[in-house]
Structure 1
Amino acid sequence: MSTSFFDLKPKAINGSTVDLSAYKGKKIVVLNTASECGYTPQYADWQEFYEANKDKVVVLGFPANDFGAQEPGSNEAIAQFCQVNFGVTFPMMEKISVLGEEQHPVYQWLTKKELNGWNSQQPTWNFCKYIVDEQGRLTHFFQSSVTPDNSAFKAALGIK
């Protein structure tokens, strides 16, 4: 099991491997996403945030069907939905599980204190946010309702 976020290598929504070490030196916002959720319109907020801050922050979307079966589609359907409806260009990973026995290694790292150093907070619904700093350390967790314009969220990223 990895003890560094940057050792993890999830699959992109198109099936290619993503080496998270490529994001060293940037802050990372990890979102568990869903296409049929009340929070789904946040895709637009996160896309706008990514466009405005992509020189120093990367947003990683991880579609998951763990809450209310609100992400029933295939990777291809999810990618098309995100592009057509929200113009998403931030990196989207393949559909995973963020909870339970099938929990993806990225979410194991984000939610197990023995791996990330302090946090055991699991996602409570779709669009929970985890912030990883430039050195690969988990620094913050935010609930689903938090959007990029939230003052505490911006402070956590050092953005005004």
Structure 2
Amino acid sequence: MTDLDTSSVTMLDGRQTTFGELADGRVVLVVNVASRCGLAPQYEQLEELQRRYAERGFTVIGFPSNQFLQELRSSEAIADYCSTTWGVTFPMTEKVRVNGKNAHPVYRQLTAHPDAEGKAGRVAWNFEKFLVHPDGRVRRFRPRTAPDAPEIIRAIEEWTAVPS
């Protein structure tokens, strides 16, 4: 169990849980999402990853954030938008902060991990992605890296590979 696993999380419907309970031993793609962002079409690709790899021990978890002023006001509006517009079925948390002293504990831990260029620190924008392995390893992908980009697909497939 990692420190990340014990981090409290409130779901979009108000239910309390922990990151570890949500992850449930799976590889997780954590994404800070925003409904009014120009990158919102990534929801469709995230949902496709959810459907394609769920049976291999993978899930997406969306963390709505208004830190870049592009998320809807209420949890109900976010849930309705994501479900109606993009058919989202993956778990979604309540709105969180991803940067600064009031950042959600999950993001305080994840932002310590560098991306492919070796840069750690603040989330740059909406739809930044963190692929989290059950053993605590993290791979970070910047916002403009599409969810179906080859480097993300390779990482998911590597970490969800069925041992022979």
Bucket of the pairwise TM-score, normalised by the shorter protein: 0.7 to 0.9
Match of 1:59 in 2: 60
The alignment's TM-score, normalised by the length of structure 2, stands at 0.85
Task: Please tell me whether residue 9 in structure 1 is matched to residue 18 in structure 2.
Answer: no
Distance 1:16 1:61, change over 3 A: same
3-state SS of the aligned residue for 1:77? helix
The alignment's TM-score, normalised by the length of structure 1, stands at 0.87
Match of 2:141 in 1: 142
Tell me by how many angstroms 1:32 deviates.
0.2
Match of 1:76 in 2: 76
Distance 1:26 1:3, change over 3 A: closer
Match of 2:152 in 1: 153
Instruction: Figure out how many residues of one structure are paired with residues of the other and give that number.
Output: 153
Match of 1:41 in 2: 41
- Give, as a single letter, the amino acid of the residue that structure 2 aligns with 1:38: G
Contact 2:42 2:146 in 1 (8 A): yes
Tell me by how many angstroms 1:25 deviates.
2.5
* Structure 2 spans left out of the alignment, 5+ residues: none
Tell me by how many angstroms 1:105 deviates.
0.9
Tell me by how many angstroms 1:28 deviates.
0.5
User: Root-mean-square deviation (CA), in Å?
Assistant: 2.1
Q: Once superposed, which parts of structure 1, at least 4 consecutive aligned residues long, lie more than 6 Å away?
A: none
Contact 1:6 1:24 in 2 (8 A): no
Task: Please tell me whether residue 132 in structure 1 is matched to residue 126 in structure 2.
Answer: no
Please give the alpha-carbon distance, in whole angstroms, between the structure 2 residues aligned to 1:35 and 1:158: 28
Match of 1:27 in 2: 27
* Structure 1 spans left out of the alignment, 5+ residues: none
Tell me by how many angstroms 1:33 deviates.
0.3
- Give, as a single letter, the amino acid of the residue that structure 1 aligns with 2:42: Q
Please give the alpha-carbon distance, in whole angstroms, between the structure 2 residues aligned to 1:27 and 1:64: 22
3-state SS of the aligned residue for 2:59? strand
- Give, as a single letter, the amino acid of the residue that structure 1 aligns with 2:67: D
Tell me by how many angstroms 1:119 deviates.
7.6
Contact 1:130 1:138 in 2 (8 A): no
